[in-house]
Amino acid sequence: MRKIFNSIIHIGITTDLPFSQQNKIRIFNTAGISIAIICTFYSLFGLYQQRYLTVVFTLSEVLLLFVCFYIVHKRKYTFAFHYGLISGLFFLSGYSFLFGEKSQTHIYLLFMPVAAILFFDTKKVIVFYFILCALLLAGSKLIFSLFEPVYPYNSIIDIIGWMNFIFVSILIFMGVKQFKNENVAFTQELNLQRLQLKEKNKDITDSFHYAQRIQKALMASNHLLNKKLPSYFVMYMPKDIVSGDFYWAEESDGRFLLAICDCTGSIYEPAQHYKVE
């Protein structure tokens, strides 16, 4: 069961996605599973109460959730987020019309702005869903005062109302908890990458220092230059640890050899030969 749950949570997630996007998809899939479980529960409850319209309504929402998973699988993430929220709003409005105010179904609208904050980065989109949910909450109060629900009030509806309070609290808790867990995992991943980069940088720096020691060992000594050159100066200012430009001198078979070398650039220049008296 755990493997199935994890496989559903990771639907649509690929390694090339940014971590923040993977985080949103996992939260979205987790919320989808939770809502599907709640709808399945209410379907069974409707069968027990012989309220078949409720069964059809809740199973339709489950079907819409599977469509959401399919859209996520196709990597149309933003469309899936909008589709999930809009279909959820329609479902909540219809379910509230079935059972009325006492069922407290409309309080699920409190979860929608939280979901919008979790799924979207654009401020305008978040504000849109916040205003939409506020209008639906106000409109539901008006509808409750003007129309009677499809199913008349009884003690069962009070039970549904308490259960809805519990389910909404669980949804909000799970959404925030999942968001926190993903942020903690993201921070740990960043720390791990930082340590890996630090280790690689140390290895590269150590290699440069080793190359610097080799370069300095090959370069002409001041003793030899003072002996062979009556007047000279050396301007050796490496930009980094190892210099691309260096000088070399050697005495061989009674001859003094001097080289000024440039190792950088893509333009080839023939070596210049100088005779030192």
Average pLDDT over residues 227-254: 82
Confidence class of residue 269 from pLDDT cuts 50, 70 and 90? low
Q: How confident is the model at residue 244 (pLDDT cuts 50, 70, 90)?
A: confident
Give me the residues paired with residue 257 across strands: 250
Least reliable range by pLDDT among 76-85, 150-159, 185-194: 150-159
Please give the pLDDT value at position 232: 83
What are the phi and psi torsion angles at 259 (to 5°)?
Answer: -135, 135
Buried b (16+ CB within 10 A) or exposed e, 93-129: bebbbbbbbebbbbbbbebbbbbbebbbeeeebbeeb
For residue 225, pLDDT over 60 is answered with: yes
Residue 130 has pLDDT above 70, yes or no: yes
Which of 77-86, 101-110, 195-204 has the least mean pLDDT?
101-110
Instruction: Determine phi and psi for 245, rounding to 5 degrees.
Output: -105, 135
Q: Is the pLDDT of residue 58 over 90?
A: no
pLDDT for 265: 56
pLDDT at 125: 92
Q: How confident is the model at residue 170, as a pLDDT?
A: 79
Under DSSP, the state recorded for 105 is: G
